């Protein structure tokens, strides 16, 4: 995958050199042309096409901003409402993630989302302890984390 990225950057720089215009738009055009060339020649590379992981990373970023916006609106509603109707608690979440990178990314995404904080990760038992400002249903919250953040992290890292 690293070779494909370097090759794509070289193609983008060659494109800029051939056009004698060194700007960001010309680089992006060259990068997209290189991406299409590498996609067309993907059967000659031993690694899978890196565009899939690039697309998965883009989707993960969009997912994070979507969840950040939704949870910020929920926390704002809690702040504005005169009477708090919340059930704070600690959720024991069983994760399928193994590597340090995946666990760090999950803990960062969960902690950056307002209303939740990842307290501790137990690697031996694959457990994460998450404090949430409002836990109405533990199974639903676990299901949401598994089907949003964890699934997107697996697409990027595996």
Question: What pLDDT does 56 receive?
Answer: 95
Q: Does the predicted model carry a pTM greater than 0.75? A: yes
Q: How many residues comprise the chain?
A: 158
Average pLDDT on 56-77 reads 93
User: Alpha helix (H) ranges present in 20-150?
Assistant: 24-40, 51-80, 100-112, 138-145
Going across the sheet that includes 89-94, the strands are 89-94, 127-132, 116-122
Ordered by where they begin, the domains of the chain are 2-44 (no CATH), 51-157 (3.30.70)
What are 98-133's pLDDT values in tens digits?
A: 888 999 999 999 998 888 999 999 878 889 999 999
Average pLDDT on 8-26 reads 94
CA distances (Å), origin 26, targets 5, 12, 20, 37, 74: 18, 8, 9, 16, 42
Q: Residue 39 pLDDT more than 80?
A: yes
């Amino acid at each position: 995958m690293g070779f494909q990225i370097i090759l794509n950057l070289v193609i983008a720089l060659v494109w800029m050199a051939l056009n004698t215009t060194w700007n960001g738009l010309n680089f992006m055009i060259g990068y997209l042309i290189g991406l299409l060339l590498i996609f067309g020649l993907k059967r000659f590379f031993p690694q899978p096409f890196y565009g899939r992981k690039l697309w998965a990373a883009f989707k993960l970023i969009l997912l994070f901003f979507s969840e950040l916006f939704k949870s910020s609106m929920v926390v704002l509603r809690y702040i504005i409402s005169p009477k708090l109707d919340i059930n704070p608690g600690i959720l024991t979440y069983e994760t399928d993630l193994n590597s340090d990178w995946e666990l760090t990314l999950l803990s960062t995404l969960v902690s950056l989302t307002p209303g939740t904080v990842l307290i501790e990760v137990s690697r031996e038992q694959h457990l994460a302890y998450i404090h949430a400002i409002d836990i109405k249903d533990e199974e639903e919250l676990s299901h949401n984390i598994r089907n949003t953040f964890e699934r997107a992290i697996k697409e990027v890292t595996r």
